Amino acid sequence: MRRAPWCALLCCVAAPAAAQERAVTFEEPQAVSLTGFAVGRADYDRLARSNGFTAGKIGVSLFKPAGDVYLFAQLTTALEGTETSTEIDNLLVSWTPQKANQWTLAFGRFDAPIGFERDDEPLNLIATNSFNFTFARPGKLTGLQVHYTASPRADVWAVAANGWDVAADNNRGKTGMLRAQVIPIPWVTVGVTGVYGPERDSTDAHQRSLVSGDLTIDRGRLILGAEVNIGREQQSGGNPTWRGAAVTGFVRLARNVGLSARYDQMEDSDGLLTGTPQILRSVTAGPMWYFSTAREGVFSNIEHTRFHLPQIALRAAIRADWSSQPFSDTKGVMELVYVF
């Protein structure tokens, strides 16, 4: 019977100690991942009669997970002509609830989930962007994004944003975007996107609408990416329209060597996007040598494909541009992309 008080005392002492022991953890907090890329180029322009080397772009990004939330941010410094500018290229706070992980809510500045091409050089298979990417659709959006994964083969996006490629809102209206994407077979991705909203400075009138469709085929050695864009803007006295399409192909010739080519056409019959009524066309082709594999991160593959971003890529291309107006030009590009 004398043992009972001692047993009770030991239990009283041991219980807090056990509780305290359970609260102690030796797990290290998740670290911030720092990645980025650098781009150097050599350019030749027949029309401008110019050639030169450029150490033209560097992007530094950080990724910080914290439970169900992660932060991704990227600062990009680029040389345009003789001027250097630094901007927040991406800034994304994303939340995926643990008990409803088919939903993701994100806020910030991000690549518009449209088409095959992207803004940053490591995410593309060719050294220049098409007229469709430059004029026919938005490349960046700033706002709120909701992503729903209905199944491993079907996704839906809804976005409310400031407008096409603007960081700060240029009017009081908002641009809405809806996208549906399906993978009917493992190597084919099909997406349809609708965009609607005012895009002119200081006015909510002249609503602009866009319907965009894209197709990606990934057969390992062969990758094809295509997009079609059809849009119009409301205007008194007539609604100006535009339409365009671009097709990009990549063939792996050897383990570290590939060949890329693209045909691009953009019809701006009313001159709304380019300032001149015209039809723009371009053909670009050239080889790519690449080595090693870049670190895994938010961006680890070419969009909708299994092609891992290489750590080092050397791309050469010849590009011919011409217009229905009296204009034509030929350019040569040698581009070195390093991902760290």
**What is the phi/psi pair of residue 136, to 5°?**
-80, -15
Q: Residue 251's pLDDT is what?
A: 98
Q: Is 181 helix (H, G, I), strand (E, B) or coil?
A: strand
Q: How many helices (H) and strands (E) in the chain?
A: 2, 16
Q: What are phi and psi of 316, to 5 degrees?
A: -120, 145
Q: What is the pLDDT of residue 29?
A: 62
- Asked if residue 174 lies in contact with residue 197, where contact means CB atoms within 8 angstroms, the answer is yes
Strands 257-268 and 278-291: antiparallel
DSSP single-letter state for residue 299: -
In tens, the pLDDT along 209-267 reads 999 999 999 999 999 999 999 999 999 888 999 999 999 999 999 999 999 999 999 99
Residue type, 125: L
Beta-bridge mates of residue 209? 196, 232
DSSP 131: H
CA 42 to chain centroid:
24
Contact (CB, 8 A) for 71 and 63 = yes
Please answer whether residues 227 and 210 qualify as being in contact, where contact means their C-beta atoms are separated by less than 8 angstroms: no
Encode the chain (340 residues) as per-residue pLDDT tens digits.
444 443 433 344 344 444 444 444 445 566 888 999 999 999 999 999 999 999 989 999 999 999 999 999 999 999 887 889 999 999 999 999 999 999 999 999 999 999 999 999 999 999 999 999 999 999 999 999 999 999 999 999 999 999 999 988 999 999 999 999 999 999 999 999 999 999 999 999 999 999 999 999 999 999 999 999 999 999 988 899 999 999 999 999 999 999 999 999 999 999 999 999 999 999 999 999 999 998 776 678 999 999 999 999 999 999 999 999 999 999 999 999 999 9
List, in order of start, the domains of the chain with CATH numbers. 32-339 (2.40.160.10)
Point out which residues pair with 195 in neighbouring strands: 177, 210
Any idea of the CA torsion for 324, 326, 133, 166, to the nearest 10 degrees? -120
pLDDT of 128:
95
**3-state class (DSSP) for residue 14:** helix
Alpha-carbon radius of gyration of the chain = 25
| Cβ-based neighbour number of residue 23 at 10 Å | 7
Q: Is 8 helix (H, G, I), strand (E, B) or coil?
A: helix
Non-local CB neighbours of 220 within 8 Å, separated by 6+ positions: 252, 306
What is the signed CA dihedral for 270, 272, 274, 276, rounded to 10 degrees? 40
**Contact assessment for residue 307 and residue 3, using Cβ atoms and an 8 Å cutoff:** no
Q: What is the pLDDT of residue 69?
A: 96
Q: What is the pLDDT of residue 16?
A: 42
